[in-house]
Amino acid sequence: MNNMISLIFITIGILFNLLGCIGIIRLPDTYNRLQAATKCVTLGCCSILFGVFFHFGISNAGIKALIAIPILFLGSTVAAHALIRGTYHFGIKLGEKSVKDDYKDAVQ
């Protein structure tokens, strides 16, 4: 039973990862790619780790998988934030479809 639940969680996670990777290929500029990829891949890997927790139960490995989830969340969100800020300062323009840019005044 536990194996079944863990397999379901891992499958959902890999579907989310797949969506993120399609996003990284299809979307037109860096900002949108980062946005789609970070959200999908982070939640996908958290789902996989949760499946691993279900497979091992409360034991050495299960607790480790559970600990990895908040570290992954905080790490990947802060990394994405630093990366998008770096991208803006590097001088990459927003995509062609953009409608608004309030950050330009703050940088100067």
Residues in 5-64 at the binding interface with other proteins, rule: CB under 8 A: 6-7, 10-11, 13-14, 16-45, 48-49, 51-52, 55-56, 59-61, 63-64
Rounded alpha-carbon distances, angstroms, from residue 37 to 29, 50, 65, 92, 102: 12, 20, 22, 18, 24
CB of 96 to other proteins, least distance (A): 10
Distances (CA, A) of 62 to 67, 78, 104: 9, 25, 46
Smallest distance from other proteins to CB 12, Å: 10
| C-beta separation of 53 from 62 below 8 A | yes
| 15-33 as b/e: b if 16+ CB within 10 A | ebbebbeebbeebeebbbb
Q: Which of 3, 5, 8, 57 binds other proteins (CB under 8 A)?
A: 3
State in angstroms the smallest separation of the CB of 69 from other proteins.
10
Among 2, 57, 85, 108, binds other proteins (CB under 8 A): 85
Output the furthest CA–CA distance in the chain (Å, rounded). 59
Quote the least distance from Cβ 26 to other proteins, whole Å.
Answer: 6
Tell me which of 2, 5, 57, 82 binds other proteins, using CB under 8 A. Answer: 82
